[in-house]
A and B are shown apart, each in its own frame.
Chain A
Amino acid sequence: MIQARLLPLLLILLHSCDAPTPDVGPPPSPLHPMVFDGEVIESISTQIDSILAAPNDAELRRSLGLLYLANGGPAEATTALEQAIILDPADPRSWCFLGMAREQSGDLNGAIIAMANARELAPSHTPLYWRPGFWLIEEGRPEAAMPLFQQAAAEDARSIRPSPDGAAHRIGRARCLLDLDRPAEAIPILEELRGLVTHYYADYLLGQAYRRSGRSEDAAQLRIGATSDPPSFPDPWADAISASKRGLDGRLARIDELLDVNRLRDAANAITQARETWPKEVNLLHRLARLYSLQGNSTAWVRVLKQAARMDPDNAATQHNLSIALTRSGELNEALNHAHLAVSANPNMAEAWMQIGRLIIRLRGLDGAPGEDDKAAADAALVPIDHAFELGIQTPGEHLMYGHLLLRANRLADAQRVLQRLIERGDADPQAWSILSETWSASGDHQQALRTAIDGLNRFPSQPDLVRIVDRYRRATGGAPLP
C-alpha cells in the first residue's frame, strides 16, 4: 500500500520529464454494442470521435469514462479512465472515478488502490475515505473500513465547511460496530446522528442496535417505516457521473436526482434540455410538474399535468398526479374526476382508488366534526377504499384511516379486525389503540374498550386520546380503581 500511496506523486514526476506522450491506445468501444442504444451510443460515438482527433487529451478520455460509468459500462469506463490517468495522473477525480468503475466491475482491490491514490492528491475530500469504507463493509471487512470512516470524521472536523450531519462517516462507523457485533457502541453514534438529521435509515440502524443490545422496547418506540429509498450521502464529485447519464431513462434519473436534492434551477435546465430531444414525453412533463410543485407554484403544477393528461389521457399516473395537484389547490370536484379517470386507465391502481375515497371523505365533510349523515358518507367513501384494500395497501397510516372510517360506518367487526392487526405491528400509531378502543365501546364491550386503552397507555403513556378514554371510564365508575 505504501507503493500505492506514492504512486500519484511518482506518476506526476515521471510525467513531467521530457518524454514523448505515451500512446495509451485507442479509446474503448462498447464491449457489446448491441446493448447500447439511442442517445447513449450516439454520445459514446461522438466522444470516441473527439478522442481520435485529440488522442492525448486526458479530459476527453475522462469524459468518455464518465459516459460509460454513468450508463452501465463499468468495464469500458475502467479502460477509458486508466488511459486518462496515464495522460494526466495528477487529477484526483480521475482516480476517484476509476475506483468507482473498478468497484462496479468487481475489482475491489484495484478500486481501493485507486481511491488511496486519489486521497494522496485530495486528502480533504471526505468521500474518498467513506466510499471505500462502505465497499470494505460490503466485503465483510469492517475492521479495515473503520479507520477510513474515522479519517473521514477527522477530515470533516478539520474542514472549513464540514458536512452538516456527517451522516456518511457516522453511519459507516455504526455499521462497522454492528458488523463487529458491538451494537452497544454503535448506539451513541446513531443517537447523535438522529439529533442532526431525520432519515429512516438512521432509525433503522438504531432500531437494530437497540434490539441487538437487548433494548427491544426502545427499538419499538422508533416506529420504523418501510421505504425503498436508499440513503445517499453528498459527494460533489459524483455529480459529474450523474450529469453524464444519457438516454431518456438516464436523463429522467438525472432530473430526479436534482429534484431530490432541491437543485431546482439545474433540474429546470436538465428538463428543458431533455425536452428538446423528447418534446412529447409525458414523463418529462411529470418532472416539470414536480419542479413546479417543489417551487410552490400550484397553478403551473396543475397546468403542466393537464397538458400531460391531454397528451396521454390514458396514463393513469398522470391522471392520479393531476388529481393530487388539484386536491392541493382545493379543486376537489375536478380532482375527483381525474381520480376516476386514473382508475379507468388502470383499474388495478390501489392508490388511485384510495384517492377517490379520500376525496369523498373531504367532499362529504367526514374530515370535520361529526354530522348526521356520517354513516351514509362513510359508506360512500368505503366503496373505493374497500376496493383499494382488496387490491392491497401497504402503509400503516392508510390502515389506520381505514379502521377509523369503518368505525364511522358502523362496520365494527371489520374495524376491529383492521385495527387489531395494526396494533400487533411494531410500528403502529398510538391512535390505533384509541380508535380500536372506541370501536369496542361502540359495540358495547366496555371491558375490552378499557383494556385496549390501558394497553395503549402502557406503550404511549401520554397519548391524549387514550388518556381521555381512560378518564372517561374512570369518571363513569365514580373514580373506582380501574383494572
Chain B
Amino acid sequence: MNGTAPTLTILTLFLCGCGDSPAAPSIASSNTSVPTKPWLLDVATQTGVDFVWQSGHNTEFLMPEIVGGGVALFDYDADGDLDVYFVQGGDLATSWTDPRSNTARNALYRNNGDWTFTDVTDITQAGDSRYGMGIAVGDTDGDGDPDLYITNVGRNTMLRNDNGVFTDITDESGTGDSGWGASAAFFDADLDGDLDLYTTNYLNWTPTTEITCFSSLGGEDYCSPRNYLSPAKDVFYRNRGDGTFDNATVDAGFDAANGTGLGVVVTDWNADGHPDIFVANDGMADLLWMANGDGTWTESGMQRGCALDDEGIAKAGMGVDSTDIDNDGDMDLIVCNLTGESDSIFRNDGDYFVDITGRTGVRASTRHATRFGIGLVDVNNDGLLDLYEANGAVTRESATAGDDPYAQQNALLAGTPNGRFTPVSPRGGTADAITLTSRGAAFGDLDGDGGLDIVVINRDEPASVYRNIVPSRGNWVRIEVLDSTGRPAIGATVHGQLGERTIMRPVRRAYSYMASNEPTVHIGLGDETELDQFVVRWPDGTQSKPMKLSPNRVWTIRHALGNEEATATAL
C-alpha cells in the first residue's frame, strides 16, 4: 500500500461525517505482501522426532531457563545422511547439585534416510544429563568420526565418538570448563592440522546468585543479563594433536576482554590466512578477536566498527553468521538481536566493517521479535542467500500470543538481486502460523534432495523439523570440501562463477545459535546449469585448480596440494 492511501480513507469518511453519522473511521495504515506458496513444512511429528527442550521452569525465574538450547546436524554413524542431536535442559536445581539425577538428557536421533528418525541415545550413550545449552561438532582426535562438545550451565562435556558410540572424555580431554557455556566452535586456530576450540561463556552465574526481576508489563519475569553484573570470560582450548587440550585462554590473549557471549563465528575477515573470531554479546559490545598470526588474538571490535550498531548501541547479540553477503569476495557478518533491535549486517570493507543493515531492508522485518538461531542460506536455490531466524522472546511482550507469553513466529526473508531481503509470505515460510519460543536452529539437507532443511529447538514444546518444500526450487550443487585426512576442511572457502556473479561460500559448521550445522557447502544455481571457475582456497593458502561443476550433484573435493579432483556422487 502506498503512503497516501490512509489519508484518502480518513478524508472520505470525514466528508461524509458532516452530513451523516458515519461508522467509526479508521486511519490505520497497514503493509501488505503478496502471499506465495509455503517454503517449509514441519514434519517432526511424522518423523518420530519428539524431543522437547525442557526449561524446568517452575515458580522461580532462573535465567538459564530462557536461554537454551542447541541442536546439531552431523553424520555420527558415517552412513551418509545427517543425524540430529539435541541438547537438553531439565531440572536446573537438580542438575546443578547432582547432574546424574537430572532425568532429562540430551538426545541423538538417527536418520533412517526415509524421513523417519530413531532415538538412538541409549545405544550410542550420547545422552548427557547436565543442564545443557549448546553444541559444537568436530573430529578432535583425527580418527575420522565427529566428536561432540556440549556446553552446559556448569561443567561442559566432551563426548568422543568411536564408530558411533560416545564416551565422556571431558576430564581426559581437559575441556571441562565450569562456567555457563553457550555457543562453541571447533576450528584450526594455529593451522597445525587439528581442531582447537573456542567456547563462549554467558554469565558467571550460580543458582544462589539468581536475582528477582520484574517485567515492564508488570509481574515477575526473567532478568536482563545486565542485572547480574557478572559478564564472563570465554575459554580457548588448544588441541595437543591427540584430542586432549590445553586451556590457552590467557596465552592466546582472550583474557583481555569479557562479555555475555551467546553466539560465535570463526572466519578470516582480513584474509591474512589466520582465523579470526567474532563473539555476539548480550547487551554488551560484541567482540572481534583478530588473529595476530603468532597464536594470539587482539580484540578490535570497536576499532573495526562491528562492536556496536550504527546507532552506537551495544545490542543484545544472540545468533551470528558470516558469509559473503554482497559477493565482493570477502566475508561479511550478521548478528541477530532482541525485540526492538534489528539485526545488524556488517559489510566487510577490508580494514573495517560498515553497518549496512538499513540498505538490506532487514530492519523493519526483524526487530519485532527476539531472534536466536540464524542462517544465511539459499533455501529456494535461486542463487541468492536467504535469511532464516528462529524467534522467541526472553521477557513477556505484549505482541506475543497464545499460552506461551514468550512465543513468537520465526522469520524467513528471501534474498533479492538488489541486495535486499524481503519477508516470505506466509510469514516464517510455513502454511500455518507456528508460534513457539524457538532457540537454536541448524541447517542441512536431511534427505539429500538438494534443498536445505532446518531443525529448530523450542522451549517446552516439541522441536520443529522443517522440510524444504519450496515449489520449483532452482538448480544446485552441494560440495563436500575435505582436508587431506578426509575431515571437513573448516575454514576453507569455495569460489565460483554463477552467471555474471562471482560467489564465495565458507566451509563452516559453527554458526547460528548454540548449533552445529552441516559442513557441506550448499550453493543454489537458480536457472544456471553449472558452477563455473570453481576453486577451493584451503586454509594453508593453497588453491585448487579451476573446475566446472554440473548441477544437481553432490561433489566431493579433497585437499591434495593443487592436485585436487572433484568427484560427483551419483544421485
Chain A residues within an 8 Å CB radius of B253: 421, 424
Interface size, chain A (Cβ < 8 Å): 105
Could you say which of B8, B26, B361 contacts A3, with CB atoms under 8 Å apart?
Answer: B8
Q: A23-B23, A219-B303, A245-B216 are in contact. Are A205 and B312 (CB under 8 A)?
A: yes
Query: Judging by beta carbons under 8 Å apart, are B217 and A36 in contact?
Result: yes
Query: Judging by beta carbons under 8 Å apart, are A113 and B401 in contact?
Result: no
- C-alpha gap A141/B359 in the complex (Å): 7
Q: Would you call B123 an interface residue if the criterion is a C-beta within 8 Å of the partner chain's C-beta atoms? A: no
Question: In the assembled complex, how far is the CB of residue B258 from the closest CB belonging to chain A, in whole angstroms?
Answer: 3
Chain B 1-43 against A: per-residue CB contact (8 Å), 1 yes, 0 no?
Answer: 1111011101100110111011111111111000000000000
> Which residues of B, 296-323, contact A by the 8 Å Cβ criterion?
296, 298-303, 305, 307-308, 310-314
Chain B residues within an 8 Å CB radius of A23: 21, 23-24
Could you say which of A179, A212, A219, A422 contacts B359, with CB atoms under 8 Å apart?
Answer: A179
Query: Judging by beta carbons under 8 Å apart, are B401 and A32 in contact?
Result: yes
> Which residues of A, 221-241, contact B by the 8 Å Cβ criterion?
224-228, 230-231
- With a 10 A CB-CB cut-off, give which of B215, B218, B307, B313 has the most chain A CB atoms: B218
Q: Would you call A350 an interface residue if the criterion is a C-beta within 8 Å of the partner chain's C-beta atoms? A: yes
Query: Judging by beta carbons under 8 Å apart, are A228 and B229 in contact?
Result: no
Query: Judging by beta carbons under 8 Å apart, are A139 and B1 in contact?
Result: no
Q: A139-B361, A139-B364 are in contact. Are A109 and B31 (CB under 8 A)?
A: yes
Chain B 191-226 against A: per-residue CB contact (8 Å), 1 yes, 0 no?
Answer: 000000000000111100100011111110000001
Could you say which of A212, A348, A393 contacts B354, with CB atoms under 8 Å apart?
Answer: A212
Interface size, chain B (Cβ < 8 Å): 92
Chain A residues within an 8 Å CB radius of B79: none
Query: Judging by beta carbons under 8 Å apart, are B303 and A212 in contact?
Result: no
Question: In the assembled complex, how far is the CB of residue B205 from the closest CB belonging to chain A, in whole angstroms?
Answer: 7
Question: In the assembled complex, how far is the CB of residue B310 from the closest CB belonging to chain A, in whole angstroms?
Answer: 7
Q: Would you call A108 an interface residue if the criterion is a C-beta within 8 Å of the partner chain's C-beta atoms? A: yes
- C-alpha gap A32/B23 in the complex (Å): 26
Query: Judging by beta carbons under 8 Å apart, are A7 and B17 in contact?
Result: no
Query: Judging by beta carbons under 8 Å apart, are B364 and A106 in contact?
Result: yes
Chain A residues within an 8 Å CB radius of B232: 391-392
Query: Judging by beta carbons under 8 Å apart, are B25 and A22 in contact?
Result: yes
Chain A 1-42 against B: per-residue CB contact (8 Å), 1 yes, 0 no?
Answer: 101100100110011010110111100001110111111110
Chain B 245-289 against A: per-residue CB contact (8 Å), 1 yes, 0 no?
Answer: 000001001011111000000000000000000000001110000
Chain B residues within an 8 Å CB radius of A83: 24
Chain B residues within an 8 Å CB radius of A365: none
- C-alpha gap A60/B104 in the complex (Å): 52
Q: Would you call A280 an interface residue if the criterion is a C-beta within 8 Å of the partner chain's C-beta atoms? A: no
Query: Judging by beta carbons under 8 Å apart, are B397 and A394 in contact?
Result: no
Question: In the assembled complex, how far is the CB of residue B292 from the closest CB belonging to chain A, in whole angstroms?
Answer: 7
Question: In the assembled complex, how far is the CB of residue B297 from the closest CB belonging to chain A, in whole angstroms?
Answer: 9
Q: Would you call A307 an interface residue if the criterion is a C-beta within 8 Å of the partner chain's C-beta atoms? A: no
- C-alpha gap A140/B418 in the complex (Å): 13
Q: A7-B10, A86-B27, A139-B364 are in contact. Are A22 and B22 (CB under 8 A)?
A: yes
Could you say which of A71, A349, A422 contacts B217, with CB atoms under 8 Å apart?
Answer: A71
Q: Would you call A473 an interface residue if the criterion is a C-beta within 8 Å of the partner chain's C-beta atoms? A: no
Q: Would you call A169 an interface residue if the criterion is a C-beta within 8 Å of the partner chain's C-beta atoms? A: no
Chain A residues within an 8 Å CB radius of B6: 110, 113
Q: A23-B21, A107-B30 are in contact. Are A427 and B302 (CB under 8 A)?
A: yes
- C-alpha gap A15/B17 in the complex (Å): 9
Q: Would you call B170 an interface residue if the criterion is a C-beta within 8 Å of the partner chain's C-beta atoms? A: no
Could you say which of B215, B255, B300 contacts A425, with CB atoms under 8 Å apart?
Answer: B300
Chain B residues within an 8 Å CB radius of A10: 11, 14
Question: In the assembled complex, how far is the CB of residue B535 from the closest CB belonging to chain A, in whole angstroms?
Answer: 30
Chain B residues within an 8 Å CB radius of A72: 216-217, 397-399
Query: Judging by beta carbons under 8 Å apart, are B29 and A107 in contact?
Result: yes
Question: In the assembled complex, how far is the CB of residue B428 from the closest CB belonging to chain A, in whole angstroms?
Answer: 15
**Chain B, residue nearest A389 (CB):** B255
Could you say which of B21, B29, B310 contacts A113, with CB atoms under 8 Å apart?
Answer: B29
Chain B residues within an 8 Å CB radius of A37: 215, 217-219, 396
Query: Judging by beta carbons under 8 Å apart, are A82 and B27 in contact?
Result: yes
Query: Judging by beta carbons under 8 Å apart, are B214 and A30 in contact?
Result: no
Chain A residues within an 8 Å CB radius of B300: 425-426
Query: Judging by beta carbons under 8 Å apart, are B364 and A34 in contact?
Result: no
Chain A residues within an 8 Å CB radius of B400: 32, 35
Chain A residues within an 8 Å CB radius of B216: 40, 71-72, 245, 247, 249-250, 253
Q: Would you call A304 an interface residue if the criterion is a C-beta within 8 Å of the partner chain's C-beta atoms? A: no
Q: Would you call B122 an interface residue if the criterion is a C-beta within 8 Å of the partner chain's C-beta atoms? A: no
Chain B residues within an 8 Å CB radius of A316: 209, 229
Chain A residues within an 8 Å CB radius of B313: 228, 230
Question: In the assembled complex, how far is the CB of residue B435 from the closest CB belonging to chain A, in whole angstroms?
Answer: 11
Query: Judging by beta carbons under 8 Å apart, are A7 and B11 in contact?
Result: yes
**Chain A, residue nearest B21 (CB):** A20
**Chain A, residue nearest B368 (CB):** A106
Chain A residues within an 8 Å CB radius of B23: 23
Query: Judging by beta carbons under 8 Å apart, are A425 and B299 in contact?
Result: yes
Could you say which of A19, A389, A425 contacts B17, with CB atoms under 8 Å apart?
Answer: A19
Q: Would you call A220 an interface residue if the criterion is a C-beta within 8 Å of the partner chain's C-beta atoms? A: yes
Q: Would you call A201 an interface residue if the criterion is a C-beta within 8 Å of the partner chain's C-beta atoms? A: yes
Query: Judging by beta carbons under 8 Å apart, are B285 and A226 in contact?
Result: yes
- C-alpha gap A76/B298 in the complex (Å): 48
> Which residues of A, 70-91, contact B by the 8 Å Cβ criterion?
71-76, 78-79, 82-83, 85-86
- C-alpha gap A454/B292 in the complex (Å): 22
Q: Would you call A175 an interface residue if the criterion is a C-beta within 8 Å of the partner chain's C-beta atoms? A: yes
Query: Judging by beta carbons under 8 Å apart, are B363 and A249 in contact?
Result: no
Query: Judging by beta carbons under 8 Å apart, are B24 and A394 in contact?
Result: no
Query: Judging by beta carbons under 8 Å apart, are B26 and A82 in contact?
Result: yes
Chain B 376-413 against A: per-residue CB contact (8 Å), 1 yes, 0 no?
Answer: 00000000000000000000111111000100000000
Question: In the assembled complex, how far is the CB of residue A274 from the closest CB belonging to chain B, in whole angstroms?
Answer: 12
Chain B residues within an 8 Å CB radius of A393: 258
- C-alpha gap A76/B359 in the complex (Å): 29
Query: Judging by beta carbons under 8 Å apart, are B18 and A424 in contact?
Result: no
- C-alpha gap A83/B417 in the complex (Å): 41
Could you say which of B27, B205, B296, B305 contacts A348, with CB atoms under 8 Å apart?
Answer: B205
- C-alpha gap A182/B26 in the complex (Å): 42
Question: In the assembled complex, how far is the CB of residue B183 from the closest CB belonging to chain A, in whole angstroms?
Answer: 17
**Chain B, residue nearest A352 (CB):** B229
Q: Would you call A346 an interface residue if the criterion is a C-beta within 8 Å of the partner chain's C-beta atoms? A: yes
> Which residues of A, 132-176, contact B by the 8 Å Cβ criterion?
134, 137-142, 175
Q: Would you call B500 an interface residue if the criterion is a C-beta within 8 Å of the partner chain's C-beta atoms? A: no
Chain B 350-364 against A: per-residue CB contact (8 Å), 1 yes, 0 no?
Answer: 011010111111011
**Chain B, residue nearest A390 (CB):** B233
Q: A82-B27, A110-B29, A230-B312 are in contact. Are A212 and B405 (CB under 8 A)?
A: no
- C-alpha gap A270/B571 in the complex (Å): 70
Q: Would you call A287 an interface residue if the criterion is a C-beta within 8 Å of the partner chain's C-beta atoms? A: no
Q: Would you call B231 an interface residue if the criterion is a C-beta within 8 Å of the partner chain's C-beta atoms? A: yes
Query: Judging by beta carbons under 8 Å apart, are A350 and B204 in contact?
Result: yes
Chain A residues within an 8 Å CB radius of B256: 399, 421-422, 425
Query: Judging by beta carbons under 8 Å apart, are A139 and B358 in contact?
Result: yes
Question: In the assembled complex, how far is the CB of residue A287 from the closest CB belonging to chain B, in whole angstroms?
Answer: 14
Q: What are 21 sample pairs from A and B whose C-beta atoms fall under 8 A apart?
A: A7-B11, A11-B14, A14-B15, A24-B24, A40-B218, A71-B217, A72-B399, A82-B27, A107-B30, A107-B31, A138-B363, A139-B364, A140-B361, A208-B305, A224-B303, A225-B302, A249-B213, A391-B233, A417-B250, A424-B292, A425-B303
Apart from A86-B10, A110-B28, list 16 A-B contacts with CB within 8 A: A11-B10, A23-B23, A24-B24, A30-B398, A35-B217, A72-B217, A86-B25, A109-B29, A109-B31, A138-B358, A140-B359, A211-B305, A224-B303, A390-B233, A391-B230, A425-B256
Residues of B at the A interface (CB closer than 8 Å) are 1-4, 6-8, 10-11, 14-15, 17-19, 21-31, 203-206, 209, 213-219, 226, 228-233, 250, 253, 255-259, 283-285, 292, 296, 298-303, 305, 307-308, 310-314, 342, 349, 351-352, 354, 356-361, 363-364, 368, 396-401, 405, 420
What are the 4 closest A-B residue pairs judged by CB atoms, nearest first? A392-B258, A110-B29, A38-B218, A348-B204
